[in-house]
């Protein structure tokens, strides 16, 4: 055991959760969650991540760590017209799809056949709104926001993984100094709130299907790629199916779908965690320990965020999604033969248009696939 093992695990957990908690709260707000439901959502989500990570890392003897889908949270936050019950119903459907994906390999292959340019265009269309909102926060509160933007890009030059966390901590201290912090309640334990799921075609196609596709394309496939790049041979079915199973258990308590981590996994799978690849799996239990603490005291963490200025929350969420947005945009436009399809998917998704009660991400994906189908038809 080296000190680098727990330190890498705790840094990965803090960066993964602390830097993106604002997105979780934005997703909860998008579904109209009550304060009790927000607490339950965060606690159940963290508990699922802790249990999945310790089981999978110990079972496979690989540094398998899980997380929630940052783009998925952004998708939920950007959706309109859905209730918390609709969201829970969508989470149940996504969990079942992930379990099916783990059990039946053809489903994984089917998702992999969706052109990456189109799925990335859809993802970029989801994320662009958060980037724009972050820019719009500057004139609202320039004294607080502009120095934090400079801090973000300065720290990214040396440590991109810590840049968002630095903005969150620095912004909190700056807001406290400027007298912008509301009342912070005393430390308290999290509580659970059961939410009865509701199912509808609009929530299935407007929320569940896009969330499943985003989770698979931007998280699970990326998480598998990170493990393979580190020299491991992860079993896709076992890993994806397990995250789906625990997502199904925690969905009734408002928890978003969990999945394989990518950015957090990169911190735990590299030589900085341990020079011996066979020993890096030990980061999993420490990572799980950190998320167990987050689960226990999620109510207090959410209360702290509620006391922060809204403009700071918007900025943190937007900055946290800049790198995923840039990556999605780069991949979407890389193939010149599918560039128009990717742009169509981006434009339709970013428009926020709804039809038949189904949200923009589904129609964006359909638009991109439609453009590719027309081009293939012309070639024939």
Mean pLDDT value of segment 221-240: 80
pLDDT at position 99 over 80: yes
pLDDT at position 47 over 60: yes
Q: What confidence tens digit (pLDDT) does each residue in 113-145 have? A: 778 788 788 778 877 887 898 899 889 889 999
Least confidently predicted of 27-36, 73-82, 217-226, 326-335 = 217-226
Spans of all domains in the chain: 4-134+183-307+325-379
Mean pLDDT value of segment 146-171: 85
For 67, phi then psi, to 5°, come to -160, -170
Where does the pLDDT of residue 322 fall: very low under 50, low under 70, confident under 90, or very high at 90 and above? confident
Instruction: Measure the CA–CA gap between 48 and 43, rounded to whole angstroms.
Output: 9
Instruction: Measure the CA–CA gap between 162 and 165, rounded to whole angstroms.
Output: 5
Mean pLDDT value of segment 346-371: 81
State the pLDDT at residue 300: 80
For 358, phi then psi, to 5°, come to -100, 135
Q: What is the 3-state secondary structure (H, E, C) of the chain?
A: CCCHHHHHHHHHHHHHHHCCHHHHHHHHHHCCCCHHHHHHHHHHHHHHHHHHHHHHHHHHCCCCCEEECHHHHHHHHHCCCCCHHHHHHHHHHHHHHHHHHHHCHHHHHHHHHCCHHHHHHHHHHHHHHHHHHHHHHHHHCHHHHHHHHHHHHHHHCCCHHHHHHHHHHHHHHHHHHCCCCCCCCCCCCCCCCCCCCCCCHHHHHHHHHHHHHHHHHHHHHHHHHHHHHCCCCCCHHHHHHHHHHHHHHHHHHCCCCEEECCHHHHHHHCCCCCCCHHHHHHHHHHHHHHHHHHHHCHHHHHHHHHHCCHHHHHHHHHHHCHHHHHHHHHHHHHCHHHHHHHHHHHHHHHHCCCECCECHHHHHHHHHHHHHHHHHHHHC
Q: Which position has the token pair 């499943």? A: 212
Q: What is the mean pLDDT of the chain?
A: 84
Q: What confidence tens digit (pLDDT) does each residue in 259-283 have? A: 998 767 777 877 777 888 888 899 8
Q: Which residue has the higher pLDDT, 120 or 305?
A: 120
State the pLDDT at residue 324: 73
CA nearest neighbour of 368 among 122, 75, 111: 122
CA nearest neighbour of 344 among 364, 329, 374: 364
CB 20 within 8 Å of CB 164: yes
């Amino acid at each position: 055991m080296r000190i680098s093992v727990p330190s890498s695990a705790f840094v990965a957990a803090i960066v993964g959760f602390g830097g993106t908690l604002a997105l979780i709260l934005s997703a909860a707000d998008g579904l109209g969650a009550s304060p009790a439901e927000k607490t339950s959502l965060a606690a159940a989500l963290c508990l699922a991540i802790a249990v999945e990570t310790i089981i999978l890392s110990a079972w496979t003897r690989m540094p398998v760590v899980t997380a929630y889908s940052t783009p998925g949270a952004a998708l939920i936050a950007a959706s309109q017209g859905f209730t918390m019950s609709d969201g829970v119903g969508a989470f149940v459907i996504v969990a079942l799809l992930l379990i099916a994906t783990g059990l039946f390999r053809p489903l994984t292959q089917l998702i992999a056949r969706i052109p990456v340019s189109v799925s990335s265009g859809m993802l970029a269309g989801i994320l662009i709104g958060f980037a724009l909102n972050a820019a719009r926060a500057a004139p609202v509160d320039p004294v607080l926001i502009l120095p934090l933007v400079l801090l973000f890009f300065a720290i990214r030059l040396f440590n991109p993984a810590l840049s968002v966390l630095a903005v969150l901590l620095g912004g909190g201290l700056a807001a406290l100094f400027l007298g912008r912090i509301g009342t912070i309640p005393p430390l308290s334990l999290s509580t659970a709130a059961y939410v009865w799921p509701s199912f509808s075609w609009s929530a299935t196609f407007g929320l569940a299907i896009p969330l499943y596709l985003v989770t698979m394309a931007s998280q699970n496939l990326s998480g598998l790629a990170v493990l393979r790049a580190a020299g491991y041979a992860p079993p896709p079915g076992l890993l994806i199916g397990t995250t789906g199973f625990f997502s199904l258990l925690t969905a009734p308590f408002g928890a978003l779908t969990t999945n394989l981590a990518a950015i957090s996994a990169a911190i735990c799978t590299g030589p900085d965690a341990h020079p011996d690849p066979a020993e890096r799996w030990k980061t999993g239990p420490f990572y799980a320990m950190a998320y167990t603490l987050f689960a226990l005291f999620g109510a207090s963490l959410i209360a702290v965020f509620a006391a922060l200025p809204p403009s700071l929350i918007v900025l943190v969420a937007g900055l946290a999604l800049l790198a995923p947005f840039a990556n999605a945009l780069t991949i979407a436009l890389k193939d010149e033969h599918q560039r128009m399809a990717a742009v169509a998917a981006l434009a339709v998704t970013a428009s926020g248009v709804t039809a038949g009660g189904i949200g923009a991400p589904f129609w964006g994906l359909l638009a991109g696939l439609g453009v590719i189908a027309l081009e293939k038809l012309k070639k024939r």
